[in-house]
Structure 1
């Protein structure tokens, strides 16, 4: 055997002996800390519970300390739409560029829409691709929201000249 092999075997033997010693020290330290806390609780409960309360208050202060509040979460908003102006369709709830915007024949019919059936996807210009230019024909308030629904007319594409109702937030 070479000298290097002897050295590596000696290091492995020392590491094997040291591992249980390190584990024993860690468990003894944890046991000593717990026993010290229990002794403090029995001998001087006011100090023990005061320390526990202080730690709880400190944690609450750290958790409640927020920023300066200047960072507001902002999402899509309904624009101030004008009848006769041109806009584009953009789904406010979809990140997929291939997503479509649903058009219905009467405002408010969105609530009754069931997307589990796909038979209607191929008919009568009901699903319009995002980015399609449209003109606003009418505005409809609903549930206390101004311009919640917008009647639009397609200006380009295979559905040019057709109209339908879309959510106001989908007209950008």
Structure 2
């Protein structure tokens, strides 16, 4: 076998351009043939395509308002706040206190005995004082260390999300 027999044909840009032109020419010729032989189908297809384009252009674009987002406030260390869950409309829902900032988004309390501790799940309306803050996830003061001011958990400290303070 010679090297000439083992080589493969490499398409040049000119060959692919000519092939594309030939294919387009074949499609146009087929469309013109359909127009001559069966004009109802030809114009029906064109009307269908135009109708789809009009439907696509007219649909969408509704200016629906964005979902409300809980806005983080500027938290001042030493100021008093009240715990309120930004993610719940249920007034009986609780806010989770964690011992270490950053574990708020990753905890799984299905096997913890801490669920029995009332100081880990605070009811809404619990007064607290901000002790420290920490940036997280690219947001300033995303997590706040708080100290509980009243009730059976008075002076207990933990971390909450800043959106849960009001």
Q: TM-score, normalised by structure 1?
A: 0.67
Aligned to 2:155: 161
Confirm or deny: 8 A CA contact 2:126 2:148 kept in the other structure. yes
CA distance in 2, matches of 1:113, 1:65: 40
Q: Structure 1 residue 107 and structure 2 residue 101: aligned?
A: yes
Q: What residue is the counterpart of 2:127 in the other structure?
A: 133
Q: Which residue matches 1:97?
A: 91
Q: Identify the residue that residue 141 of structure 2 maps to in structure 1.
A: 147
Report the counterpart of residue 57 of structure 1 in structure 2.
Answer: 53
| Higher helix proportion (structure 1 or 2) | 1
Gapped runs of 5+ residues in structure 2?
A: 1-36
Q: Cα gap change, 1:99/1:124 in structure 2, threshold over 3 Å: closer, same or farther?
A: closer
CA distance in 2, matches of 1:120, 1:152: 18
TM-score under structure 2 normalisation?
Answer: 0.70
> CA–CA distance in 1 between the matches of 2:38 and 2:151?
82
What is the CA distance between 1:75 and its match in structure 2?
1.4
Aligned pair in 2 of structure 1 residues 115, 93: CA closer, same or farther (>3 Å)? farther
- Flag structure 1 segments of 5+ consecutive residues without an equivalent: 1-40
User: Following TM superposition, by how much is the alpha carbon of 1:162 offset from its aligned partner in structure 2, in angstroms?
Assistant: 1.2
Q: 2:76 aligns with which of 70, 73, 82?
A: 82
The aligned residue for residue 3 of structure 1 is none
The CA deviation at 1:114 is: 0.7
Tell me the distance in 2 between the aligned counterparts of 1:144 and 1:151: 18
**Which residue of structure 2 lines up, in the alignment, with residue 47 of structure 1?**
43
Q: 1:141 and 1:65, CA in 2 relative to 1: closer, same or farther beyond 3 A?
A: closer
In the comparison of the two structures, how many residue pairs are matched? 130
